[in-house]
Structure 1
């Protein structure tokens, strides 16, 4: 591609037309298919597949051996750990063409998908949720939720800075050990950050 505002390793394959944002890096043996849209300042590790019509926001980090199939959408600043798995059909069969049955999977801003985790299609992963390594997610995940195990179970809450939050106090407040920011448990499955506008980007950590 003539646009040099992003980096593509010589071994990577880019099918046109597609969109790749400024400052994005695409490393060894990766493949971006036509119709994909990748935001600014993303990093795609080795052997990453971005299928047709996949949408990736800015600042995402996709580690080695990850395939994002048609129907997957990542919002800004999502982290996909090595060899994590996304599906786009519930009941695949090699003998049956199910392209018309692809389901949408949405990973919302700032979420982390751990190494070797599996996200079954049709799920929405909430903002800043944390899916532990090897977990298997079969349904929607709340914002800030920590999900562990097979199948994945809700085991606690994580801050936007990636620290596990303590149990809430009598006012429902949990304080991040890294940032000092406060989070409030406003319902059994709902946490809100008290100290930063949910719609704004995180400030740089000092």
Structure 2
């Protein structure tokens, strides 16, 4: 682990990882080489963070959370256990992945709740998906591969691969490609329901409410 102003030491529990001096990273976390952890971020015990990730200022990664390679958590993103994020996921500033279906500080008899009084449920996010700034994903939900959740949206149900969802509660308003750009209709494709990415040219086909790449 490299902390600002301190050299990398052979005894570091996280070799090849750059960590700001004000960050709080558990020695019991697993972090891949090339990952950067910025000021005031916190990575809890038993979390697993992949290679070449960016954990922004004030971001939080809960105990046992799993992040793939090349994941970006922007400033003050909150990822609560037991969330699982695949490779290349983007979490925007101040976005929240929740873990409590029925939140209460106390039990019905007024006693302060402990970890034994509730069961954590997680958000699962597929490869390449993006969660916009201040969006909230209410667990348990799954965000599909390469989907985009718009800024400020509140996700209360599963999101299909390549879907663009907006609003409160979030609803699908279109499709996006791997570049994140909304797809355009492409009636010249071989099948009905064809779409094209205006940036990459990749073709897609919609069938029964799901999108696949051609």
1:193 aligns with 2:204: no
Q: Deviations over 1:83-136 (max 9, x none)?
A: 001110111111133734111210111000000001001000000000000000
Structure of larger gyration radius? 2
Query: For residues 154-174 of structure 1, what are the alpha-carbon distances to aligned partners after superposition, in whole Å with 9 as ceiling and x for unaligned?
Result: 100000111101235362211
Q: 1:16 aligned to 2:33?
A: no
Partners of 1:168 and 1:185 within 8 A in 2: no
Corresponding residue of 1:178: 199
- How far 1:4 moved relative to its partner? 3.1
In the other structure, the counterpart of 1:28 is 39
State the partner residue of 1:135.
153
Gaps of 5+ in 1: 195-206
Q: What does residue range 45-194 of structure 1 map to in structure 2 within 5 Å?
A: 45-96=56-107, 97=113, 99=115, 100-167=118-185, 169=187, 171-187=192-208, 189-194=209-214
Contact 1:116–1:133 (CA under 8 A) maintained in structure 2: yes
RMSD of aligned C-alpha atoms?
1.3
What TM-score comes out, normalization by structure 2 length? 0.87
| 1:147-194 C-alpha deviation (Å, 9 max, x unpaired) | 00111111000001111012353622111000001011122x210111
Shift of 1:70: 1.1
SS at match of 1:28: coil
Report deviation, 1:54.
0.3
**Inter-CA distance 133–182: structure 2 relative to 1 (3 Å threshold):** same
SS in 2 for 1:101: coil
The answer (yes or no) to whether the contact 1:7–1:24 under 8 Å persists in 2 is: yes
Distance 2:136 2:146 in 1: 17
Q: State TM-score, norm by structure 1.
A: 0.90
**Residue 25 of structure 2 contacts residue 42 of structure 2 at CA under 8 Å; is this kept in 1?**
yes
